[in-house]
């Protein structure tokens, strides 16, 4: 009998579900010494890596601190260099020009004119039928005339009559110079400018003027404004805190009047030549006062008008006298350059005047030791720029004065010797001063001389 359990059918033996693989028992892996060493070294590597990261972080912190230390050291070096440069330069490269032309103002004269009651303009107005209609009181002449002055009718009445009476002339002149009311002094100034310009009209009959202000009246007005005819430099006199310190606001009207008066056709009836010379000195002093910088245009017009006052025969000697007087009075600092620059005209007279002033200033700087033109340049040329005590600010002033002296006239073109010496002087100033020279004004002297030297080469 066949046992069915032991004998499978053929297809049963092929069924993978019925055939189970024999389960083999896993053997536990034995941990050896090598495995322990490997694990140990791995842990050691991790510890070393952590320590390396910590050390790197510490190095970064130390590097930041080191950078801060280097930066602080660099600042110390820069500060040390700046202090050494300041010691080398000695002073700031800045010019402080100016003179104190005004002190405290004086009390102005009283503006009382009782003679206006009997002036011709008032009498004609009293007799006019218009006055009987409007019934204007003329007991106070100045009060009656003020509206006519402000609205411009007073000058028209004078032109119509062809006559400027002394009472009206003095009243309007003193209003212009001393009135504290802006409308009155401006209107009085316009009145006188209209009278003087009317005088210049060739086709119109001249106005008979009973009284014309002399230079004495103009000078007294300046003294009342506090003008110091014996002026000093700003560095020598302390500024006053007085509320009465000049100039008075009327200085604007004073300048406008002088400008118009110097253009008057009949000049012989005005000022003496010596008075006109002093007048130009006053205008130049006003140019040099820093308080009047806002009046530069008006001062320039006044200067040109005063220069044109002289005749051709008078001017050459007069400009030498004015230049010599200014050189004796003006401080030997940058104010010299301010005075030369204020004569900015390009006409022949202005150029001659600018050259004369610069020449006298140079002579004064060297105590008049140079008897002729060549000797002046001989004093300028041998300056030792390598000397530590070389004063480049003074050298710059001398250079600019020499430029205006020579180039504002025909001296360089007329005298070849002067031209050669002038070029040598410019070459020394531009070539012997190193570009690394940090002393005050050294670069200004070098650059100025190089520019002027290039101009002499281009001219040839």
CB atoms within 10 A of CB 232: 13
The torsion angles phi and psi of 227, rounded to 5 degrees, stand at -65, 135
Supply the pLDDT for residue 447. 92
Burial level of 138, CB count in 10 A (0-12/13-18/19+)?
Answer: middle
Supply the pLDDT for residue 234. 45
DSSP 158-209: HHHHTEE-HHHHHHHHHHHHH-S-HHHHHHHHHHHHHHHHHHT-SSSPPPEE
CB atoms within 10 A of CB 166: 13
> pLDDT: is 14 or 323 the higher one?
323
Kindly state the average pLDDT of the residues 191-215: 83
Supply the pLDDT for residue 372. 87
- What does the alpha-carbon distance between residue 425 and residue 402 come to, in Å, rounded to a whole number? 10
Supply the pLDDT for residue 202. 63
- What does the alpha-carbon distance between residue 101 and residue 227 come to, in Å, rounded to a whole number? 6
Residue ranges of alpha helices (H) inside 14-100 are 33-89
**pTM, two decimal places:** 0.75
- What does the alpha-carbon distance between residue 347 and residue 327 come to, in Å, rounded to a whole number? 23
- What does the alpha-carbon distance between residue 253 and residue 250 come to, in Å, rounded to a whole number? 5
The SS3 assignment for 18 reads coil
Name the pLDDT band for 422 (thresholds 50, 70, 90): very high
- Continuous segment of H or E residues that includes residue 101: strand 99-102
**pLDDT exceeding 70 applies to what percent of the chain?**
73
| pLDDT tens digits for range 165-199 | 999 999 999 999 999 999 999 999 999 999 988 86
Supply the pLDDT for residue 60. 65
Kindly state the average pLDDT of the residues 16-24: 51
- What does the alpha-carbon distance between residue 78 and residue 83 come to, in Å, rounded to a whole number? 9
Pairing of strands 163-164, 99-102: unpaired
Name the pLDDT band for 147 (thresholds 50, 70, 90): confident
Name the pLDDT band for 134 (thresholds 50, 70, 90): very low
| pLDDT tens digits for range 250-294 | 999 999 999 999 988 666 667 899 999 999 999 999 999 988 989
Supply the pLDDT for residue 2. 46
Supply the pLDDT for residue 90. 47
Q: Tell me the average pLDDT of the chain.
A: 80
Query: 2-30 as b/e, with b when 16 or more CB fall inside 10 Å?
Result: eeeeeeeeeeeeeeeeeeeeeeeeeeeee
Kindly state the average pLDDT of the residues 399-420: 89
| pLDDT tens digits for range 215-245 | 999 999 999 999 998 765 444 444 455 567 7
Supply the pLDDT for residue 52. 75
Kindly state the average pLDDT of the residues 12-24: 51
């Amino acid at each position: 009998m066949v046992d069915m359990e032991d004998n499978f059918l053929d297809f049963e033996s092929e069924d993978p579900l019925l055939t189970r693989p024999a389960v083999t028992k896993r053997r536990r892996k034995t941990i050896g010494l090598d495995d322990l060493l490997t694990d140990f070294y791995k842990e050691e590597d991790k510890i070393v890596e952590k320590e390396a990261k910590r050390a790197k972080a510490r190095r970064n912190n130390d590097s930041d601190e080191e950078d801060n230390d280097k930066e602080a050291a660099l600042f110390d070096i820069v500060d040390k260099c700046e202090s050494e440069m300041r010691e080398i330069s000695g002073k700031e490269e800045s010019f402080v020009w100016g003179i104190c032309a005004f002190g405290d103002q004086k009390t102005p004269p009283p503006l009382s004119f009782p003679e206006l009651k009997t002036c011709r303009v008032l009498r004609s107005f009293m007799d006019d039928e218009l006055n009987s209609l409007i019934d204007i009181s003329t007991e106070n002449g100045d009060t009656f005339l003020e509206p006519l002055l402000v609205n411009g009718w007073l000058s028209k009445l004078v032109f119509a009559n062809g006559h400027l009476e002394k009472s009206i002339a003095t009243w309007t002149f003193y209003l212009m110079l001393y009135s504290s009311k802006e409308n009155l002094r401006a209107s009085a100034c316009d009145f006188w400018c209209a009278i003087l310009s009317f005088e210049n009209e060739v086709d119109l009959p001249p106005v008979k003027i009973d009284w014309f202000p002399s230079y004495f009246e103009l000078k007294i007005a300046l003294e009342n404004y506090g003008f110091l005819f014996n002026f000093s430099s700003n560095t020598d006199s302390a500024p006053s805190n007085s509320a009465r310190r000049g100039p008075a606001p009327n200085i604007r009207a004073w300048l406008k009047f002088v400008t118009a008066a110097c253009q008057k056709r009949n000049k012989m009836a005005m000022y003496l030549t010596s008075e006109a010379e002093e007048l130009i000195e006053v205008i130049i002093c006003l140019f040099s006062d820093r308080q009047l910088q806002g009046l530069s245009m008006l001062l320039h017009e006044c200067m040109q008008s005063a220069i044109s006052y002289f005749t051709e025969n008078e001017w050459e000697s007069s400009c030498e006298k004015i230049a010599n007087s200014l050189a004796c009075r003006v401080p030997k600092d940058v104010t010299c350059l301010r005075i030369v620059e204020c004569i900015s005209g390009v006409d022949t007279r202005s150029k001659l005047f600018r050259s004369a002033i610069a020449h006298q200033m140079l002579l004064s700087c060297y105590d008049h030791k140079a008897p002729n033109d060549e000797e002046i340049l001989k004093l300028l040329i041998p300056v030792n720029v390598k000397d530590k005590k070389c004063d480049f600010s003074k050298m710059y002033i001398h250079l600019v004065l020499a430029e205006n002296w020579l180039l504002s006239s025909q001296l360089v073109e007329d005298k070849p010797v002067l031209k050669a010496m002038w070029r040598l002087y410019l070459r020394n100033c531009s070539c012997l001063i190193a570009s690394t020279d940090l002393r005050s004004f050294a670069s200004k002297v070098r650059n100025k001389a190089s520019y002027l030297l290039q101009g002499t080469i281009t001219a040839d």
